[in-house]
């Protein structure tokens, strides 16, 4: 497969044309995506690539008799009938699967988090632009109608000035998913293909299907897994490209099972004019707090996939907020009789998770036809994931503050941290990437 040969033959699609879609990965989210694309009236489920044979067979069965099966995605990309690729593989594959699909002239729907490290995101944006491809990031919440309404309200100042955003994700999975020894990979899994550009190491039961999330080699832990969804909404609502300063602390304190990403992590982000806190817990829930909350001078808003809820702030005489105890002595603060009044009206709206997936896929398909940028364009995905990676870089460096220049896309004043924006690829994927000259 050469970089431009495939791009050259692709024709422009009309509104009534059908789109031939190929899928890579039929795991937790891959199965959802086959369902979502199957529901669209102008899609042919044309191909499936899986490194795990039983999943490949299940996927093909779900897709119907016309779908072709592949074990090597490069072969699937040679299929000239395919216009779009849906990437539902683990994080360490997102960049290469996307870049090579772009080079082969395919449009791409790629799952979040966009990348495993910051530079990968830059290469992905470059590839999308160079080959003129539509690349949608799988942050489907953006397509939710209540998220769009909430964004409008914030941009129209319904909450007043938003000064702080709070993000939380908590569960208790103590003691973890177990301890395992290195073993031979199961015969049904092409483990070398599963590993791809990640470091070569012996197979281990958690280092593959679904559980890859608990290892830095393939993932950024919950910061890029769940944190990416929160930071997506934060940066999109607030209209910012990225934070200015990030620091994060945490560790693997509670879980006993295998894995090396933190089970407890707190990150602080300084954005222009507001701050954000992200708190992630795997071994203790505590009191239930909202997943995502925007706190403004006139109101606050909690929002999740099920809806949003706006609670007005009360306008008070500031003197009435000063403690009294036995009253102030001469020259102290006097309270007034002014009654508190709400700054604005409360408001609630419901949302639907299923609708978010469906509309996100629809937006991608429409953009394939119109050649417009999708609602979660690759560059948005890159900026979101960058904020998550910066938090993880800080955490892995013991919690020091990382300064980020969002325009230059550079860590400033810290060479050690800047070196962590890139990781090496394993052979032959390093050369395959080099040959595209995106670096």
Binding site for ligand NAD (CB under 6 A): 24-30, 49-52, 55, 73, 88-91, 93, 111-112, 138, 140, 193-194, 196, 209-210, 225
Q: How far is the CB of 95 from ligand NAD (least distance, A)?
A: 11
Please identify, using beta-carbon distances, which residue of 211 and 268 lies nearer to ligand NAD: 211
Q: How far is the CB of 24 from ligand NAD (least distance, A)?
A: 5
Cβ-count burial 199-208 (b if 16+ within 10 Å, e if not): eeeebbbbbb
Q: How far is the CB of 359 from ligand NAD (least distance, A)?
A: 13
Please identify, using beta-carbon distances, which residue of 200 and 408 lies nearer to ligand NAD: 200
Q: How far is the CB of 305 from ligand NAD (least distance, A)?
A: 9
Please identify, using beta-carbon distances, which residue of 77 and 274 lies nearer to ligand NAD: 77
Q: How far is the CB of 258 from ligand NAD (least distance, A)?
A: 16
Contact in structure between 82 and 57 (CB atoms under 8 Å)? no
Which of these, 162, 209, 236, 237, lies nearest to 54 by C-alpha position?
209
Which of these, 371, 375, 369, 373, lies nearest to 357 by C-alpha position?
375
C-alpha span between 142 and 432 (Å, rounded): 33
C-alpha span between 248 and 390 (Å, rounded): 9
Q: How far is the CB of 298 from ligand NAD (least distance, A)?
A: 32
Please identify, using beta-carbon distances, which residue of 30 and 242 lies nearer to ligand NAD: 30
Q: How far is the CB of 409 from ligand NAD (least distance, A)?
A: 22
Q: How far is the CB of 153 from ligand NAD (least distance, A)?
A: 24
Q: How far is the CB of 376 from ligand NAD (least distance, A)?
A: 10
Please identify, using beta-carbon distances, which residue of 140 and 248 lies nearer to ligand NAD: 140
Cβ-count burial 136-164 (b if 16+ within 10 Å, e if not): bbbbbbbbbebbbebbebbeeebbbebee
Please identify, using beta-carbon distances, which residue of 3 and 29 lies nearer to ligand NAD: 29
Contact in structure between 265 and 125 (CB atoms under 8 Å)? no
Please identify, using beta-carbon distances, which residue of 17 and 188 lies nearer to ligand NAD: 188
Rg, Å, the chain Cα set: 24
State how beta strands 314-315 and 68-70 pair. unpaired
Adjacent-strand bridge partners of 312: 299
Bond before 356 cis per omega within 30 degrees: no
Question: Could you tell me the two tokens for 170?
Answer: 């908590």
C-alpha span between 263 and 282 (Å, rounded): 5
Which of these, 100, 43, 131, lies nearest to 364 by C-alpha position?
43
Q: How far is CA 303 from CA 101, 161, 290, in A?
A: 34, 17, 8
Please identify, using beta-carbon distances, which residue of 72 and 416 lies nearer to ligand NAD: 72
Q: Which residue number is nearest to ligand NAD in terms of Cβ?
A: 27
The total of other beta-carbon atoms located within 10 Å of residue 379's CB is 19
Please identify, using beta-carbon distances, which residue of 54 and 286 lies nearer to ligand NAD: 54
3-state secondary structure of 202: coil
Q: How far is the CB of 277 from ligand NAD (least distance, A)?
A: 22
Please identify, using beta-carbon distances, which residue of 227 and 296 lies nearer to ligand NAD: 227
Question: Could you tell me the two tokens for 73?
Answer: 């995605």
């Amino acid at each position: 497969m050469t970089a431009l040969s495939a791009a050259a033959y692709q024709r422009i699609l009309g509104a009534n044309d059908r789109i031939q879609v190929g899928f890579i990965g039929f795991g937790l989210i891959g199965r959802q995506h086959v369902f979502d694309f199957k529901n669209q009236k102008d899609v042919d489920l044309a191909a499936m690539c899986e490194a795990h044979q039983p999943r490949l067979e299940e996927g093909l069965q779900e897709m119907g008799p016309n779908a072709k099966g592949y074990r090597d995605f490069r072969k699937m990309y040679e299929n000239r009938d395919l216009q779009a690729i849906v990437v539902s593989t683990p994080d360490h594959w997102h960049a290469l699967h996307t870049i090579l699909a772009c080079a082969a002239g395919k449009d791409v729907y790629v799952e979040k988090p966009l990348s495993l490290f910051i530079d990968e995101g830059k290469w992905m944006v470059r590839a999308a632009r160079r080959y003129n491809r539509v690349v949608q990031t799988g942050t489907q919440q953006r397509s939710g109608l209540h998220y769009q309404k909430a964004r409008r309200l914030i941009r129209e100042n319904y909450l007043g000035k938003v000064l702080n955003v709070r993000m939380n994700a908590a569960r208790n999975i103590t003691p973890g998913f177990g301890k395992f020894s290195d073993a031979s990979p199961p015969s049904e899994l092409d483990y070398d293909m599963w590993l791809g550009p990640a470091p070569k190491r012996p197979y281990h039961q958690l280092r593959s299907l679904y559980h890859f999330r608990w290892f830095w080699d393939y993932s950024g832990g919950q910061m890029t897994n769940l944190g990416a969804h929160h930071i997506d909404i934060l940066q999109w609502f607030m209209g910012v490209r990225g934070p200015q300063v990030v620091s994060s602390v945490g560790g693997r304190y509670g879980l006993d099972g295998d894995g090396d990403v933190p089970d407890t992590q707190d990150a602080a982000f300084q954005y222009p004019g507001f701050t954000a806190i992200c708190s992630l817990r795997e071994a203790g829930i505590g009191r239930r707090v909202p997943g995502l909350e925007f706190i403004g001078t006139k109101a606050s808003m909690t929002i999740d996939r099920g809806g949003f809820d706006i609670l007005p702030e009360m306008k008070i005489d500031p003197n009435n907020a000063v403690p009294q105890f036995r009253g102030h002595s001469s020259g102290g603060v006097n309270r007034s009789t002014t009654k508190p009044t709400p700054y604005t009206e409360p408001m609630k709206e419901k949302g639907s998770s299923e609708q978010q997936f469906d509309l996100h896929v629809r937006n991608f398909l429409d953009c394939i036809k119109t050649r417009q940028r999708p609602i979660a364009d690759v560059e948005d995905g890159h900026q979101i994931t960058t904020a998550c990676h910066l938090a993880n870089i800080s955490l892995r460096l013991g919690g020091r503050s990382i300064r980020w220049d969002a325009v230059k896309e550079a860590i400033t004043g810290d060479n050690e941290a800047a070196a962590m924006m890139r990781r090496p690829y394993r052979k032959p994927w390093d050369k395959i990437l080099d040959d595209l000259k995106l670096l």
